[in-house]
């Protein structure tokens, strides 16, 4: 069951509510519209997949840091994966249990590491200097840090190079040649930290589970080697990265169940706790960006639908050439001519597009147009370029009512940065 469906009379609905009706009740467009129940269903898919394993589902907050969504996921039982001090602060604010939080990153500052050490979150060791900082933070906080070593397994995730991380020339983690050096160093710092696990993250938008299995085999091999030196390794953190069906073509995309099944026996055979760090696969398909058509124009051989949303609100197509499915919220009329359009925003950049070469009926001005699968890495990557202020967010509650879950940013918010200078 998925939250976005079509009504019998051809209107796009979110949990049975016509998106068109929502557009008429909210204050402005574009806006993000989520289904709270879809978030629950996505989480439950992970929970069911992990049955029989000791596990932590660490939601990667970078995908979407809406506080209401974080609180909802926390209540469902999620932990959190953080990549900055502010993400850590937000997770604590949302009530996440610090012992189910993991602090990741290749450039963690000493100040942020001190907070992590004080709060008792897991910390991933990413490099030599990162280890130095973690040790220093543990001393300042007067607390021993539970650490995982991020090892780069050099497995090709077969994704866009901008979202690949687990290959050998990546800026993340350490390579196996340095493993022994790190183990010796960790031993020397046994007052400051305890090595409790290993971590890897291959990349994002991965749609073949064999890739995760290949990495797990390599990583468990490292765990065997590390245990053989007397370390008590309890955690295997396999990272995130499971892709979703952005194309809406009905292609079979592996589910959380498929993902966990490929590593289940390996994890059980070594008596490990499994940490998994999903972002996109928990949140992307729970949301769309709702826009209005400002007008239609043609230039040369191109036709354009110009909408009020843009790369400022949703940058993935511009940044990665990402495909996100686009459709109108209302049925077309029989005489609306079908053309091939680029869907573009009002921002002064030629890279400001949400979709290219889409076959769509020619829409009247004011028509609602949605960009699907906008729950992950859309609002959290939004900017105010061209002073397009960040949009409001709403969700459909379990009872079908609409609630605002984030205010839209305003021009006055912008002016506040200059007050009292």
Catalytic residues: 348
Minimum gap (Å) between residue 187 Cβ and ligand LLP: 25
Place of tokens 């609630």: 403
- Separation CA 337–CA 301 (nearest Å): 16
Residue nearest ligand LLP (C-beta atom) = 279
60 contributes a contact to ligand LLP by CB under 6 A? yes
- Using rule CB under 6 A, residue 390 touches ligand LLP: no
Site track for ligand LLP across 136-165, x = CB under 6 A: ---------------------------x-x
Q: Output 239 or 254, the one with its CB closest to ligand LLP.
A: 239
Min CB(62)–ligand LLP separation in Å = 6
Structure tokens, 204: 């994002």
Count of positions on this chain that bind ligand LLP (CB under 6 A): 22
280 binds ligand LLP (CB under 6 A): yes
Q: Is 310 in the site for ligand LLP (CB under 6 A)?
A: no
Q: Which of 19, 78, 81, 389 binds ligand LLP (CB under 6 A)?
A: 81
d(CA 418, CA 421): 6
Q: What's 357's DSSP letter? A: E
Indicate whether 267 belongs to the interface with ligand LLP (CB under 6 A): no
Closest distance between ligand LLP and the C-beta of residue 417, in Å?
25
103 vs 328, beta carbon nearer ligand LLP: 103
The single residue among 64, 65, 104, 291 that binds ligand LLP, judged by CB under 6 A, is 104
Instruction: Determine the longest span between alpha carbons in the chain, in angstroms.
Output: 76
Residue 235 binding ligand LLP, by CB under 6 A: no
H helices within 270-340, ranges in order?
Answer: 280-283, 316-320
Instruction: Return all residues near 194 (Cβ < 8 A) that are at least 6 apart.
Output: 144, 145, 146, 147
Place of tokens 């939601």: 59
| Given 14, 39, 63, 134, the residue binding ligand LLP (CB under 6 A) | 63
Using the minimum distance from each CB to ligand LLP, give the nearer residue, 280 or 292. 280
Instruction: Choose the binding region for ligand LLP from 70-78, 180-188, 278-286, 299-307 (rule: CB under 6 A).
Output: 278-286
Angstrom distances, CA of residue 59 to CA of 41, 79, 120, 181, 279: 14, 6, 17, 31, 6
Q: Where does this chain touch ligand LLP (CB under 6 A) — which range of 40-48, 181-189, 198-206, 300-308?
A: 198-206
Query: b or e along 24-40 (b: 16 or more beta carbons within 10 Å of the residue's beta carbon)?
Result: eebeebbbbbbbbbbbb
Reduce the DSSP state of residue 310 to 3 states and report it: coil
Q: Which stretch binds ligand LLP (CB under 6 A): 174-182, 238-246, 296-304, 343-351?
A: 238-246
| Bridging pattern class, strands 273-276 and 235-237 | parallel
Alpha helices in 168-306, H assignment, sequence order = 179-188, 209-227, 256-269, 280-283
Alpha helix stretches (DSSP H) within 271-329:
280-283, 316-320
Binding mask 200-219 for ligand LLP (x = CB under 6 A): -x--xx--------------
CB of 150 to ligand LLP, least distance (A): 8
Cα 173 to Cα 106: distance, rounded to the nearest angstrom? 7
Cα angle at 358 between 357 and 364, to 5 degrees?
A: 120
Q: Smallest distance, Å, CB 378 to ligand LLP? A: 8
Min dist CB 372 to ligand LLP, Å, is 14
Is 279 among the residues that bind ligand LLP (CB under 6 A)?
yes
Q: List all residues 6 or more positions away from 267 whose beta carbon is below 8 Å from its beta carbon.
A: 53, 216, 236, 274
Closer to ligand LLP by CB, 277 or 393: give it: 277
| Residue ranges in contact with ligand LLP by CB under 6 A | 60, 63, 81, 104, 163, 165, 201, 204-205, 239-242, 277-281, 316, 320, 376-377
């Amino acid at each position: 069951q998925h939250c976005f469906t079509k009504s019998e009379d051809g209107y796009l609905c979110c949990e049975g509510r016509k998106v068109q009706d929502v557009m008429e009740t909210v204050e402005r467009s574009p806006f993000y519209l989520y289904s709270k129940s879809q978030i629950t269903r996505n989480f439950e898919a992970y929970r069911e997949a992990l049955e029989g394993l000791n596990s932590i589902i660490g939601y990667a907050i970078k995908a979407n840091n809406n506080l209401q969504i974080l609180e909802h996921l926390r209540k469902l039982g999620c932990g959190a994966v953080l990549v900055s001090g502010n993400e850590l602060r937000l997770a604590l604010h949302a009530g996440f249990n610090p012992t189910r939080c993991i602090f990741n990153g290749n450039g963690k500052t000493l100040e942020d590491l001190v907070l992590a050490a004080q709060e008792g979150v897991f910390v991933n060791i990413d490099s030599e200097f990162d280890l130095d900082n973690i040790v220093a933070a543990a001393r300042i906080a007067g607390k021993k840090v539970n650490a995982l070593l991020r090892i780069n397994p050099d497995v090709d995730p077969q994704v866009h190079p901008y979202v690949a991380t687990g290959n050998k020339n990546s800026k993340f983690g350490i390579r196996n040649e340095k493993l022994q050096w790190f183990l010796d160093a960790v031993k020397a710092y046994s007052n400051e930290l305890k090595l409790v696990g290993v971590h890897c993250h291959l990349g994002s938008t991965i749609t073949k589970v064999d890739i995760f299995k290949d990495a797990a085999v390599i990583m468990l091999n490292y765990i065997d080697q590390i245990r053989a030196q007397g370390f008590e390794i309890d955690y295997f953190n396999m990272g995130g990265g499971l892709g979703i069906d952005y194309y809406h073509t009905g292609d079979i995309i592996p589910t959380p169940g498929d993902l966990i099944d490929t590593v289940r026996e390996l994890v059980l055979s070594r008596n490990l706790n499994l940490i998994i760090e999903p972002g996109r696969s928990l949140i992307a398909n729970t949301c769309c960006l709702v826009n209005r058509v400002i007008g239609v124009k043609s230039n040369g051989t191109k036709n354009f639908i110009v909408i009020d949303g843009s790369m400022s609100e949703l940058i993935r197509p511009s940044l990665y050439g990402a495909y996100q499915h686009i459709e109108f919220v209302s049925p077309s009329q029989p005489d609306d001519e079908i053309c091939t359009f680029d869907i573009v925003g009002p921002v002064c950049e030629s890279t400001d597009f949400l979709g290219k070469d889409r076959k769509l009926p020619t829409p009247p001005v004011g028509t609602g147009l949605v960009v699907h699968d906008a729950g992950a890495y859309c609002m959290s990557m939004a900017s105010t370029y061209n002073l397009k202020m960040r949009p409001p967010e709403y969700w459909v509650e379990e009872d079908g009512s609409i609630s605002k879950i984030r205010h839209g940013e305003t021009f006055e918010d912008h002016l506040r940065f200059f007050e009292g200078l």
